[in-house]
Amino acid sequence: MLKIFGRRSTTFCDGLPRRDFLRLGSIGLGGVSLSHLCQLDALAGEPSPTDRSVVMIYLPGGPTQHETFDPKPNAPAEIRGSYAPIATRVPGVHFCELLPKLAQMSDRFSVVRTLTGMENRHEAFQCYTGRPGGRNEDNEAPGGWPALGSVVSYLLGASQSGVVPYVDAAPKMSYQPYNNRGVHLQGRPSWPGITGARHTPFTLEGDVKSDMVLQGIDLSRLDDRRSLLKAVSDQADELSAAGLDAFQTQAFGMLTSSRLAHAMDVEREPAHVRARYGKDQPTDPSFGGAPQSAERFLLARRLIEAGVRCVTVAFGAWDWHANREGTIEYLSKKYLPVFDHALATFLNDLDERGLLETTTVVVWGEFGRTPRINAKGGRDHWPGTQSVLLAGGGIQGGHVIGNTDPTGGTPVERPVHVQEVFASLYRNVGIDVNRVKINDLNGRPRYLVDQGRQSIAELYV
């Protein structure tokens, strides 16, 4: 259905009058507004010569650095854990033995072992925005901090392919702060942020797949779409005043276009490609996280190929206190090999298709895990540091940035702030964090990262 809101004078934080905010409901676009879909290019000016993209792989719950990219084999058993380190393709660099496939391609990505700046909060918001939010002490911008994808959508708009610029390909998770919705443990939601409602992600959950038919469009539904746009046309004077009528044709084209729907249909992939990614593995429901869905990685690759600028994916459930399902020894052995295979396959696939050169991949959780294994056999929350994988988009492979102390809990060389990672992501898509500002709800210009935070220079040498 099409909803045209009443004649109110209030506005969204992006300045769009509420009375002119058109929302597409049950016609298959998940509540995305017409202006969200059709006015993006008008905001950004000239498109970049080469469309560049970002895939953010969020690991809900915060993965262990010891059992992944920062093993400590010389530490006492209660710190080093049960698994041995293995050599990688980079001389002198070791990963956990449960990551053999990533170890063998470590020259094609880099790892930051000393990330700082995260709070002890189970909130996806930190990964998507690079900032805490929701509480008074966070000094959040009026309107809320925007996610990386929202900023990319706001500043760059749709790519030359014309598909929506920002897609959340994560499944819906039962623990609300893990979802890409700006939900916090405390405080009000920071959603959708100062970029405005037009730049919330296009979400693939719900009725979208079944409604975005690929072939043989149901004529009754198509006719309904036409009638909805006619309803828009019938209010031409009002819409003309709002500057929206010029986008009606484009809106209808996007409603009936098969490009995005094709990208979402992973069954179009050859059987051997789908088999290569491997089977999905569920995670224990008590975690409230995501399954280990290799198919979501394949979906992300297809969306990037279709021209989406930013794709977010949630993978697994990593809150390994040993109060759910088993000890960290058990959980590592069950879940890390699946992560290793799926991520290595995804990076290889991007590389083989020539997409890694223009696509930046970041893999992380909201914090790391404690150096010492607890009495139950798990690791607890540890915002002191964590390991982050970065690949593609101009990032040089084979680097390890920073060193932690012998327990793996404190940076002793080259701490890297989370906003340095964001500055690097913005740099890779062509956004200069030293120049670009976005106005908050009060009209105050806001930098994308705190002043003084720059991209990680070591990743580009």
pLDDT tens, 52-86? Answer: 999 999 999 999 999 999 999 999 999 999 999 99
State residue 261's pLDDT score: 83
State residue 2's pLDDT score: 32
CA pair distance 142, 129, nearest whole angstrom: 15
Polymer length in residues for the chain = 461
| Reported pTM | 0.84
Confidence category of residue 162, pLDDT binned at 50, 70, 90 = confident
Is the predicted pLDDT of residue 253 greater than 80, yes or no? Answer: no
State residue 227's pLDDT score: 57
State residue 58's pLDDT score: 98
Mean predicted confidence (pLDDT) in 362-366: 98
- Which CATH number covers residue 137? 3.40.720.10
The amino acid that residue 45 corresponds to is: G
Is the predicted pLDDT of residue 19 greater than 50, yes or no? Answer: no
CA pair distance 449, 422, nearest whole angstrom: 7
CA pair distance 175, 145, nearest whole angstrom: 21
State residue 68's pLDDT score: 98
Residue 119, both tokens: 């709070």
CA pair distance 119, 193, nearest whole angstrom: 19
Confidence category of residue 230, pLDDT binned at 50, 70, 90 = low
State residue 38's pLDDT score: 43
What single-letter DSSP state applies at residue 55? E
* CB atoms near residue 22 (< 10 Å): 23
Residues 278-293 have pLDDT tens digits of 999 999 999 999 999 9
DSSP β-ladder status, 85-87 and 94-96:
antiparallel
Name the residue range of residue 428's domain.
45-215+272-460
> Looking at the domain assignment, is residue 450 inside a domain?
yes
State residue 215's pLDDT score: 40
Whether residue 357 sits in one domain with residue 423: yes
> Looking at the domain assignment, is residue 265 inside a domain?
no
> Looking at the domain assignment, is residue 302 inside a domain?
yes
Whether residue 423 sits in one domain with residue 337: yes
Whether residue 225 sits in one domain with residue 210: no
Whether residue 141 sits in one domain with residue 51: yes
Is the predicted pLDDT of residue 157 greater than 90, yes or no? Answer: yes
CA pair distance 159, 51, nearest whole angstrom: 6
All residues at 6 or more sequence positions from 161 whose CB lies less than 8 Å from its CB, including other chains: 51, 259, 306, 307
Is the predicted pLDDT of residue 103 greater than 60, yes or no? Answer: yes
What is the three-class DSSP state of 279?
coil
The amino acid that residue 30 corresponds to is: G
Whether residue 116 sits in one domain with residue 15: no
Residue 104, both tokens: 């063998």
Question: Among the listed ranges 227-236, 313-322, 395-404, which one has the minimum average pLDDT value?
Answer: 227-236
Q: How far is CA 56 from CA 5, 23, 114, 180, 289, in A?
A: 34, 27, 19, 11, 16
> Looking at the domain assignment, is residue 267 inside a domain?
no
Confidence category of residue 426, pLDDT binned at 50, 70, 90 = very high
> Looking at the domain assignment, is residue 422 inside a domain?
yes
Whether residue 210 sits in one domain with residue 81: yes
The amino acid that residue 111 corresponds to is: V
Residues 184-194 have pLDDT tens digits of 999 999 998 99
Whether residue 228 sits in one domain with residue 371: no
- Dihedral of the CA atoms 140, 158, 170, 131 (nearest 10)? -20
Taking a C-beta distance cutoff of 8 angstroms, is the pair 97, 403 a contact? Answer: no
Whether residue 118 sits in one domain with residue 2: no
DSSP β-ladder status, 22-24 and 310-314:
unpaired
Q: Percent of the chain at pLDDT above 90?
A: 73
- Dihedral of the CA atoms 26, 30, 33, 36 (nearest 10)? -150
State residue 208's pLDDT score: 45
State residue 224's pLDDT score: 53
> Looking at the domain assignment, is residue 376 inside a domain?
yes
| Angle made by CA atoms 386, 60, 14, in degrees to the nearest 5 | 100
Whether residue 237 sits in one domain with residue 144: no
Nearest to 30 by CA among 260, 285, 230: 260
Whether residue 227 sits in one domain with residue 372: no
Structural domain ending residue among the three candidates 257, 285, 316: 257
Confidence category of residue 204, pLDDT binned at 50, 70, 90 = confident
Bigger pLDDT: 168 vs 211: 168
Residues 428-437 have pLDDT tens digits of 999 999 999 9
Whether residue 231 sits in one domain with residue 210: no
Question: What total number of domains does the chain contain?
Answer: 2
Whether residue 343 sits in one domain with residue 411: yes
> Looking at the domain assignment, is residue 391 inside a domain?
yes
- The mean predicted confidence, pLDDT, of the chain is 84
> Looking at the domain assignment, is residue 262 inside a domain?
no
